[in-house]
Each structure stands twice: as structure tokens, then as C-alpha cells.
Amino acid sequence: MTTFVPEASTADIGVYGLGVMGANLARNLARNGYATAVFNRTPARTDRLIREHGGEAAFVPSSALEDFVASLRAPRVAIIMVQAGPATDAVMEQLAALMDEGDIIVDCGNSLFTDTIRREKWAAERGLHFVGAGVSGGEEGALWGPSIMPGGTPASYERLGPMFEAISATYDGVPCCTYIGANGAGHFVKMVHNGIEYADMQVIAEAYTLLREGLGATPAQIADIFAAWNQGELNSYLIEITAEVLRQVDASTGAPLVDLIVDAASQKGTGKWTVQTALDLAVPVTAIGEATFARGASSGSAQRAAGQGLDGNTAPLVIETDEARAAFVEDVRRALFASKIVAYSQGFDEIGAGAAEYGWDIDKGALARIWRAGCIIRAAFLDDITRAYEADPALPLLLAAEPFATRFEECAPALRRIVSQAALAGVPIPVFASSLAYFDQIRATRLPAALIQAQRDFFGSHTYRRVDREGIFHTLWAEPGRPEEQWG
């Protein structure tokens, strides 16, 4: 193994942690002309990166952490790319011990935003900048151009921003990286991005199961449908890869690969965080919630085993004529699009609520702009979201803004047909169904929540407000005649 001892102050930026994501990010930085210091706790990884890719560009490898830090030009910028959690804290402590005031530590992992807020405070107390940067795009994105969502001090963005903008994906020549806000803002929006990703994936899966049940179509035939959809308003990375996945045939059996994969969806936790945080902020993110719970339901093997054989009293979906089949496919497409609008609208609501709670000035239009390329949820659709927030940065509800309001109204009949057909046929489509329920809730002039308030007042004196008078009221339910009192 080679021992790397670099010259001091020769690197523009450094990457600590050379797993696939870290190595690819380092290669991207180096390819873009930044002398990139690289270090890994296990030296074999540094060795491998230099052996396999050292000829690509200017790397500054180190075998010792002290040398890695010394190799960085002041103010130093060190990116941490290790497993999110305690490892990030451990690496921060090591780096901080060797750094000077004004140096910048950047965490590009999928860290929980509250950890990032805590770490930023910890770093600031030591005179250091801490940047929590969301990075999306998977391994290929890290190498060729991810979408980057950095949070932290504006001063740290001055030093880091140009490098991140240079290595990020571009859309119409615009970099998919922008300053998001103080401390945890970058990781917060990345968390919601991932929550939306869960919903996006689930609605695609729901469309797939409906097409399979309703048409009796093969995965390859459904791949063709997704490929056709990818030419229109649903155009997105996730629809594109779905067509590829559905076409994949298992080499050993000749069966569609998707039929051989265990139907239990895993998760690393970012969707769960999005839902937990939404509950704390009292924001309904039903599409993300149902998508996250659907992964849980698929993985609940004891419950699924116990539920096998229960009679659903269902009538199979039978769609016979070519005309009816074509209409069904179009209904499914519209149901998917409408549910996608709900997922994004709710995700942006959560971002607004998070910004208000944590004091971040998040520009939602700019955020949608940097999600147009590079990231996993990249889609043609994000261009419209960008324009909607540019037209009105204080938009209270994305779903009610154009072009989404009109498109949703146009798709709503299809969504209603699909949700009812699926219910009768016993095909589980939790995000489609909850998206319709959400739409009907927010457009309703009056909700049965009035009854909930009365029930709460009955058993717990929790009070209610009246539609006809100002004030807080309580009915004395246990007293004869049940008189009403005004409490405030």
C-alpha cells in the first residue's frame, strides 16, 4: 500500500470518506479543476481511488488525517461523506481538533436536520463553519452532477458555493445548487425531497399494479406504457427508470426480474423523518405518509402472513374492449399525475412550515429550480412548480395554483373512477385514495371537524369556537338543559 504524504496547502477542497458517494463526489470535484484532497479511515480505499482514477485529475491523497487537513488551503473546506449518525460526530471532532477559525466542515450525508442544527451550533462555538448539504442523484449523480442543497452561514456559501455550483447538474444552463438557509435548512429540504421521492415511487407502483390487474398486462407491456407516459407531462427520471426496470428479464429463469424480487420495500429512514417532522409541524403530508406506511405494510411479514386468505369480497377488474382498455390506461395516468400534484403540494407545505418554525428564509421557487435536474425526483413538472413560486413566493397551496389547479380538476374524474374501481377490486392504492380524500378535504366548504370539536368538548371540556360569534365556548354537557358558557 502506498503511503501518501501531500504538500501543505495545495488542495482547494477535501473529501473525508471514500465510499462510492464520497469517491464519486471527489472525482467530480477533481474533474472540474479543483485540486481535491482525499482521505479515508481505511487507507485501502484511498489507495484504490488513486490507483483507479488518479490519472483523471488533480487529487491530493493523504494517508494521515493530519496531512489531509494540512493539505487544504485556508480557509479549509472538508467534506464529510460517511454514514449519517454517530460517525459524522466522530469525524467532526477529529477535524475540528486540527482546524483553525473560519474553516468549513461540510456534511453531504443524509443527516437528520436537527442533528445538523446541533452540529452547526457546536462548530460555531469553536469558530468553525458547518454546512449541512443535501446531495441527491445517487452514485451517478455524485459523479456527473447532483442536485445540491447546502445550508449554513452565507459566508461559508461564498467559499463553497462556486465549487458546488460547478459540479452540480445543470438545467437550461442553470446550476442545480443554491444556498438554502441557515444551519439545518439544507438537510431539511433534502429530507422532504426524499419524502416526495417515496410518494413518487409509490404512485408509480400503484399505477403499475392497477395496469397489471386491470389489463392483465406483462411487465414488458407496462414498460411500454410508462415509456409512452415519459414523453408527456409525467416525464421524469423515476418514470424513465421504471420502464427500464419492468423490461428487465432475469438471466437465469427468463422471468421478468420484478416478479422475482421479494415484495418487501426497505427504507433508510428519510421518509420516516419527513412524516415524523410533518406531524410535529402539524402539516398533513398524507401522500408521503401513506407511501412510507405502504413500505412498512409490505415489510410487515407477520401481519401479512396472518392476513393471507382473508376474503376481500372483491370483484375482479375486467376491462375487455380495446377502447375501454385505452380509457383505463389514461385514467390511471391521470390518477398518477393528480396524486403526484398532491405529494409535491404537501411536501412544499412542509418546507414552508419548517422554514417558519426554524426561521429559515427558503425560496421555494429556487428550490424547485434546483430539483429540475440531477436529483432523483427530477421531472418536467418541476419547471411549472418553479414558475408558480416565482409568480407568488407566498403561495398558500401549490395544488390551487395554475397550472396545477386546472390539471387537477381535469384529472379528478379519472382519480375518482380509479379509486372506486380499485376499492371494488381490492387493489391497494393508498396514495391514490388518500390523495383524493385530501383534495376533497381542502376543497370542502365545511368539514365534520365541527363534530370532533363537540366530542372533545363533551368528554374533556376542550372548548370550541362558533361560526356566528367570536370567543371560546364550552357546553355544560352534564347539566340539565346543557347550557353554554363563554370561556374567552
437-444 contacts, C-beta under 8 A, 24 or more apart: 437/286, 438/284, 438/286, 438/287, 438/342, 438/346, 439/338, 439/342, 439/399, 439/408, 439/412, 439/415, 442/397, 442/399, 442/400
Q: 252 among the known binding-site residues?
A: no
Q: 22 among the known binding-site residues?
A: yes
Q: Which of 268, 456, 466, 482 binds ligand 6PG (CB under 6 A)?
A: 268
The DSSP secondary structure of 50-74, one letter per residue, reads: HHHHTTTS-EEE-SSHHHHHHTBPS
Catalytic residue, chosen from 197, 206, 290, 350, is 197
Q: 41 among the known binding-site residues?
A: yes
What sign does the dihedral 323-342-152-158 (CA atoms) show?
A: positive
- 7 burial (CB, 10 Å; 0-12 / 13-18 / 19+) is exposed
> By rule CB under 6 A, what count of residues binds ligand 6PG?
12
Compute, in degrees rounded to 10, the torsion defined by CA atoms 294, 298, 299, 303. Answer: 110
Q: Which of 10, 63, 170, 267 binds ligand 6PG (CB under 6 A)?
A: 267
How many whole angstroms separate alpha carbon 235 and alpha carbon 28?
27
Per-residue interface string for the shown chain with ligand 6PG, residues 95-114, x marking contact by CB under 6 A: ---------------x----
Q: 83 among the known binding-site residues?
A: yes
How many whole angstroms separate alpha carbon 143 and alpha carbon 145?
6
Based on the residue annotation, tell me whether 340 is a catalytic residue of this protein: no
Chain positions 322 to 381 lying near ligand 6PG, rule: CB under 6 A, are 375-376
Instruction: Please choose, out of 268-276, 345-353, 406-414, 469-477, the segment that lies near ligand 6PG by the rule CB under 6 A.
Output: 268-276
Q: Considering the rule CB under 6 A, would residue 136 count as an interface residue with ligand 6PG?
A: yes
Quick one: cell of 320?
375487455
Amino acid at residue number 378: R
Quick one: cell of 161?
458555493
The position carrying cell 375501454 is 324
Which residue number, 71 or 110, has a Cβ lying nearer to ligand 6PG? Answer: 110
Instruction: Please choose, out of 31-39, 172-180, 264-272, 345-353, the segment that lies near ligand 6PG by the rule CB under 6 A.
Output: 264-272
Q: 20 among the known binding-site residues?
A: yes
Based on the residue annotation, tell me whether 190 is a catalytic residue of this protein: yes
Q: Three-state SS for 330?
A: helix
Catalytic residue, chosen from 120, 165, 190, 290, is 190
Q: 110 among the known binding-site residues?
A: yes
HSE of 138, CA atoms in CB hemisphere, 13 A: 8
Q: Considering the rule CB under 6 A, would residue 270 count as an interface residue with ligand 6PG?
A: yes
Q: 151 among the known binding-site residues?
A: no
HSE of 22, CA atoms in CB hemisphere, 13 A: 26
Instruction: Please choose, out of 132-140, 149-157, 283-291, 309-317, the segment that lies near ligand 6PG by the rule CB under 6 A.
Output: 132-140
Instruction: Please choose, out of 55-63, 136-144, 244-252, 438-446, the segment that lies near ligand 6PG by the rule CB under 6 A.
Output: 136-144
How many whole angstroms separate alpha carbon 297 and alpha carbon 80?
34
How many whole angstroms separate alpha carbon 222 and alpha carbon 215?
9
Which residue number, 201 or 332, has a Cβ lying nearer to ligand 6PG? Answer: 201
Chain positions 137 to 196 lying near ligand 6PG, rule: CB under 6 A, are 137-138, 194
Binding residues: 17-22, 40-42, 82-84, 110, 136-138, 193-194, 198, 268, 295, 456, 462
Site residues for ligand 6PG per CB under 6 A:
110, 136-138, 194, 197, 267-268, 270-271, 375-376
Binding residues for substrate: 110, 136-138, 193-194, 198, 268, 295, 456, 462
By annotation, the residues acting in catalysis are 190, 197
